[in-house]
Every structure is written in C-alpha cells, then in structure tokens.
Amino acid sequence: MLSPRSGERQQADFPRHLRLMRRTFSLSLALLLLLSPSSATAAEPIKLGEIEPLTGKEAAFGQQAHRGVRMAIAEINARGGVLGRPLVVVVEDNQSKPGDSATVAKKLLSREKVVALLCGGTSSNCLEVAPLAQTARIPFVATTATAPEVTEKRDYVFRSCFIDPFQGAVLAKFATTTLKTKRVAILTSVSASYSVGLSKVFREKFTARGGVIPAEQKYSEGDKDFRAQLTAIKAAQVDAIAVTGFYTEAALICKQARDLGLTIPIFGGDGWEAPELIEIGGQAVEGTYYASHYSSESTAPEVRDFVKKYRARYNGETPDSMAPLAYDATLIIAEAIALAGTTDGPKLRDALAATKNFPGVTGRTSIDAARNATKSAVMITVKNGKPTYVETIDP
Amino acid sequence: MSEFLQQLLNGLSLGAIYALIALGYTMVYGVLRFINFAHSDVFMVGAFIGYYLGKLVPENTVWGGLVVLLAAMIGCAVLGMVIERLAYRPLRGAATLNVLITAIGVSLLLEYSGQVFFGATPRTFPAVFPSSNYSFGSLVISSNQILVIVVAALLMVALQLIVYRTKIGTAMRAVSLNPKAAQLVGVNNDVVISFTFGLGSALAGAGGILYALNYPSIDPLMGVMPGLKAFVAAVLGGIGNIPGAALGGLLLGTVETFVNGSQWSTYKDAIAFAILIIILLFRPAGLLGKFTVEKV
C-alpha cells in the first residue's frame, strides 16, 4: 500500500465520478479566482455563515436582516476587510419552517467551514442553531432572538438584542404608566417560544405593578381565525390586549378585533415589527403599539447615517430594527476578529465576550456576563400607516 | 348569552367555508370512490386567482367582488378538469390506491409550484368586496361573515338543484350508483366525471375567495389545514353525501370555535378530531351516510 506509485496509477485508482467532481471543482475554483477582484492579492476571504427566514411566514425578518448584513460587509470590505482579508457571507434560507435551521446550520458548519454564525428570525430558529454552534466551537450571534434560553448555558452563543424579560418589563411599564390600564388580556402563540416567554414575563411584571389579567387566550402559529378568542376577551371587559406573537397573526388579530367592535388599545413586542403588519392590518393596526430596538426617527448620528445609507441602497425604503441589529452584529463580529487577530473559534469567542460600549446603530452595545446585549427599548405606534416613535423606556 | 351567540355566529361563518370545500371532496368520492387530495390546493389557487384579479378590478365594489368570485370559480373549474384529464383519467381502471397516491402527488405539485410561481411569502388579499360591521345589541357581525354564509348557502342550494333536477345531475347519480350500467344506458362517463371535477373545483375556488376575504393573508400552503378539516367534515357528514358534507362542515367549524374560545384552545384540533372519532364509532358511515354491506 505504501509503495510509491506514479500519478497516473493513483488517478486510475480514484473512483471515476470523484475524479470528475474534483476536476469540476478545481475548474470552478479557477474561474472564481479569475472573476474575483482580489485575485491579485489572493487573500483568502473570511467566511461568515448566515441563517435567515428569507421566504415563508417570517420572510420580512430575514429579508431585512440580510440587507443589514450585506451593508455591513460591503462597508468592511471597502475599508480593506479584516486582517487584510475580505469578508464574505454565505446565506442559507430556513423557509420559516421548524427543523430547517438546524439542517442549514450543519451545512454551513461542516461544508462551508464558516468562522462565525449569524442568525436572524425567531428565537425558535436560533434555539436549533445554538447547540450545533456550541458543539462545533464556532461563535454564534443571534441578531433578533429575544428568548433568554437561546444564550443560556452555551458560552459560544451571543446576541445583539435585548431579551424578553427586559422587553416584558418594558411592555408592563408602558401598559401601566403610558396607557394607564388596569385590566389587560393576553393572547399568546403557544407554538412560539418567543411568545410564551414574553407573555410569562409580562404577566409577572404587570401584576407586580398592580394590574389584573382577567383573560388569557392562546393560538398556534399559522392560525387564521381568532374571533373565538377575541369574543372571549371581549366578554372579560378589559382595557387593552397584549398580543405577544408575530406580525402576520398580530395583523389578523387586530383586524378581527376591530371587526368584533373591540376599540381598546392592542400592543405587542418586537415580533410585530415588519412592513407586513401595516400591509395586512391596514386601518385596523392604526393606533396599536409595539416595542422595538431602535427608531428610524431617532436623531442620533449613527441612526441618521445608517438610515441614509440604507435608503440609498434599497430604493428609499426605511429600515425597521431587523436590519440595524444584523448590521451591528456583523460589525461586532468583524471587530472581534480584528481584536483576536485570528479566526480561530475559541479566541474569537473570547474577543466577542469582551465587547464593551460598541457604538452601534441600535445604541451602545456591551456584552454582559450572560452574553446578552444591554441597551434600552423604544415604543412605536402606527400613525397614518407609518411606524411612529412614542418613547424610550428603561424599566 | 351574547358571548354564546357571537361564538355561534363565528363558528357558522368558519364552518360554511369548511362545508364548501367538503362538498368537493364528497362529490368526487361519490362518483369515483377516491379522495382527491389535490382539492385543498385548488382552493389555494382560487385564492391566488382572486389576489391577482383583485388588483385589476376596483376595490370595495359589489360587482368587482362578484367578477373576482366568478373568475376564481371558472379558473378552478378548468384547473380541476385539467387535473382529472391529465392525472386521474389515465388511471381510471387502476386500483384505488394508485389513484390516491397520484392525488397526493398532484397536491404536492400544486403546493410547491405555487411556491415557485407565487413565492412562499404570505400575500395580503385585497378587499374586493365592500366591508362594514353591523351590531345587534352586543352581537357584531361583519359583512364578510354574512357574505360567506349567504354565498355558501346559495351555492349549496344550487348544487342540490343541479344534482337532483338536471339531466347531468341524474347522470352523475347514475355513474355513482353503477358506472358500467350507466354506460350501458348511454351515459358518457368521461363527460360526467369531468363535470363533477369542474363543479367540485368551482366550489373550492369560491371557498378560497371567501376564506381569503375573512383571513386576508394567503400563501401557497394555505390550503393544507382547511383542506384537512374539510376532509374530516366530509367524513363526519358521511362521505359521498352532499347534505352530510354541509352539515359536517358547519358542525366542525362551530365545535372548533367554541373550543378555541375556552380554556382549552391549545387542544382545539385534538378535541375536534376526538369528536369525529366518537361519532364514527357510533355511526361508522358518518352522520347522514348509509352503511352498505360490500357486495361480493
């Protein structure tokens, strides 16, 4: 076996289809090198992996977040990349389906050999990715997953947004001090870990502030009919409804609530934030409130600068908070790579954990001991079909 | 009391849609003795025809809405007949299981072609009919709910008239009773079966529009759940029996709504299907179905 063989023989021993594959591969590699502008420097790009719901029910989250990541990468590469190497992102679509995030994460980790993972979309998606990243010892930054358990007990998992206990406290404070409500009904999506967690914290914080929750109703992701739950809520005579799920259902809930003659305020968490909320809900979402990570109306220079660049790039559209969160996360990873001086997993992890006061679009971001970002929240209302800033809340 | 009435009303408007879809399942079963699983996707195509046409006609007008409804019905009827011609007719003499599996294949084909052509992102269905809310005391009903119940009732009456008062209806019943004997007395089975598919699919198209009007977020997989429920409704009422399908749909919609409004909303599908199992234990042929001994 160990005796030296001629190259010819070795090739003949090689299975035919593998040889063909190898040839195609080296050919495409050569083509890629020819096409890429950096072929002169021949620096190997640093690969980031991104998992997003680009299609399906939560597509609005994924599409916005991916734009944020692409913007950040374009800017980093324009500045000369990281460690003298350009940054590229390999994006995979989980189709807003349970189970698909894990499948594409495995592909990114084993085949693409990415140095870090980013995942937008829901907490359920990120919970699928987190254990895989932990086992592979590849740092993973969740950009919009607010459920606490995403980062718990996994020291390779970070996030660039606030968490649900914080958000639940913000909503409870908003309901008691701004809306001045005493009786609030909760409508929870039982098949979304985000919604279940947010409802739980809201219930605790709201009752701690002296509020009463006379009605709690449930639904599942993908449900279309909420009239039954809303009729029960109407009978409970409440001052407001907290809908802790995502935008598609939230819009339908607002519509059916108004159809049933419920004119009380309806509010929710950052899962509401998408252009589709207003598109589907129309007149019915007018005057409803939701929590968010930033407001595009803010006068902070970082925000103004970001909104201007985003509009120039994407036909004048105004970004909601998914894009800036993903943008910040990408910049934080790039900075951590520069700081670590390597793309080695454990060293990169340590550099990420040391992030302090990073001047992002969504506020100054510090990573705390539990690997969560700490920053304040804003409340947004829909006014004349446009998301409008109400107030900034620190519970 | 008013909460009970409101829930009943909500349940009836949901059940009316299930009933419309269930009619298509039951008619095809009555004539061909197989479950057309592609039916729920014809329902989805109906909603998408409405989505694209709804942009061409002026919004919030009665005639615009009727044009959309009629076009979706015709479009779905044609689609149903094409599916029958291409997928099911070549298997006419084959075992029922082969046709059943083909039906599942057609269903998946429609769903995933839908994702390619329409995109997987949910779309917002335009408000093609003018809508307003009426309240009677504490009872509130939207014009869309009234529309669903009225259109469903009209279509069911029309269907009953077609099946029992017309020549083609008589031929349908003849094919259902005994296809060979029907052929012997001069019925063209192909035409009758094609007509049955067209009629059933037209009802699915109407169901698609009515569903989308009430729940204006549509996507290529929107037919899966309502289709499953409607299939259950058809079995519940007695598969092959037209009034049975209508009754089954209304019953299922009402039960689901009442469970949804209670503490046990998480179990709504489980409870609805448990009721189905109990009814079938006592009446194996469904509520209105006749139990017949298989002839040897």
CB contacts < 8 A (A, B):
87
Q: Nearest chain A residue to B14 by CA: give it.
A: A225
pLDDT of residue A147: 81
| Interface touch B257/A220, C-beta < 8 Å | no
Taking the C-alpha atoms of residue A137 and residue A46, their distance in angstroms, rounded to an integer, is: 17
Any idea which residue has 């190997």 for tokens?
A44
Please report the residues numbered 243 through 262 in chain A whose beta carbons come closer than 8 angstroms to any beta carbon of chain B.
248, 251-252, 255, 259-261
pLDDT of residue B16: 92
Task: Residue B225: list chain A partners with CB under 8 A.
Answer: 222
User: What is the reported pTM?
Assistant: 0.77
CB–CB of A218/B269 below 8 Å?
A: no
Q: What is the pLDDT of residues A239-287, one digit of tens each?
A: 999 999 998 899 999 999 988 888 899 999 988 988 888 888 888 888 8
- Report which of A182, A171, A168 is spatially closest to residue A267, judged by C-alpha positions: A171
B96 and A CB contact within 8 Å: no
A348 and B CB contact within 8 Å: no
Q: Please report which helix (H) or strand (E) contains residue A89, including its range.
A: strand A87-93
Fold classified for A46-162+298-376: Rossmann fold (3.40.50)
Mutate to test the interface with B, among A64, A224, A229 (most CBs of B within 10 A): A224
pLDDT confidence tier of residue B279, bands split at 50, 70 and 90: confident
- The residues of chain A that CATH labels 3.40.50.2300 are 46-162+298-376, 165-292
Class of domain A165-292: alpha beta
> Tens place of pLDDT for every residue, chain A, 395 residues?
444 444 444 444 445 555 555 555 555 555 555 555 444 455 788 888 898 888 887 888 888 889 889 888 888 888 888 888 888 888 888 888 888 888 888 888 888 888 888 888 888 888 888 888 888 888 888 888 888 888 888 888 888 888 888 888 889 999 998 888 899 999 999 888 889 989 999 999 999 998 899 988 989 888 888 988 898 898 888 999 999 999 889 999 999 998 888 889 999 998 898 888 888 888 888 889 999 888 887 777 888 888 888 888 888 788 888 888 888 889 888 888 888 888 888 888 888 887 877 878 887 777 877 788 777 788 889 988 888 888 888 76
* Domains observed in chain B: 2-282 (1.10.3470)
B140 and A CB contact within 8 Å: yes
Of A23-32, B63-72, B265-274, where does the model show the most confidence? B63-72
Residue range B46-50: mean pLDDT, rounded:
95
Taking the C-alpha atoms of residue A337 and residue A16, their distance in angstroms, rounded to an integer, is: 41
| Interface touch A232/B3, C-beta < 8 Å | yes
Which two structure tokens, joined as six digits, stand for A191? Answer: 């098949």
| Interface touch B6/A255, C-beta < 8 Å | no
Measured between CB atoms, which of B122, B217, B266 is closest to A218? Answer: B266
Q: Nearest chain B residue to A228 by CA: give it.
A: B261
What ipTM was reported for this prediction? Answer: 0.80
pLDDT of residue A17: 55
Please report the residues numbered 167 through 206 in chain B whose beta carbons come closer than 8 angstroms to any beta carbon of chain A.
none
Q: What is the pLDDT of residues B137-182, one digit of tens each?
A: 778 888 888 898 999 899 989 998 999 999 999 999 999 888 889 9
Mutate to test the interface with A, among B1, B3, B5, B6 (most CBs of A within 10 A): B6
pLDDT of residue A223: 85
Q: What type of residue sits at position A247?
A: Y
Taking the C-alpha atoms of residue B190 and residue B173, their distance in angstroms, rounded to an integer, is: 14
- Report which of B94, B68, B7, B82 is spatially closest to residue B38, judged by C-alpha positions: B82
CB–CB of B126/B55 below 8 Å?
A: yes
b or e along B210-230 (b: 16 or more beta carbons within 10 Å of the residue's beta carbon)?
Answer: bbbbbbbbbbbbbbbebbebb
Task: Residue A248: list chain B partners with CB under 8 A.
Answer: 122, 217
Which two structure tokens, joined as six digits, stand for B161? Answer: 């008239």
Q: Nearest chain B residue to A253 by CA: give it.
A: B215
CB–CB of B17/B207 below 8 Å?
A: yes
- Sign for the CA dihedral angle at B28, B29, B35, B39 comes to positive
pLDDT of residue B142: 86
Neighbouring residues of A120: CB distance < 8 A, sequence distance ≥ 6: A50, A51, A52, A53, A61, A62, A64, A65, A66, A142, A143, A144, A322, A325, A326
Mutate to test the interface with A, among B123, B215, B262, B264 (most CBs of A within 10 A): B215
The separation between CA A147 and the C-alpha centre of its own chain, rounded to angstroms, equals 11
Task: Residue A282: list chain B partners with CB under 8 A.
Answer: 127
Measured between CB atoms, which of A222, A228, A280 is closest to B124? Answer: A280
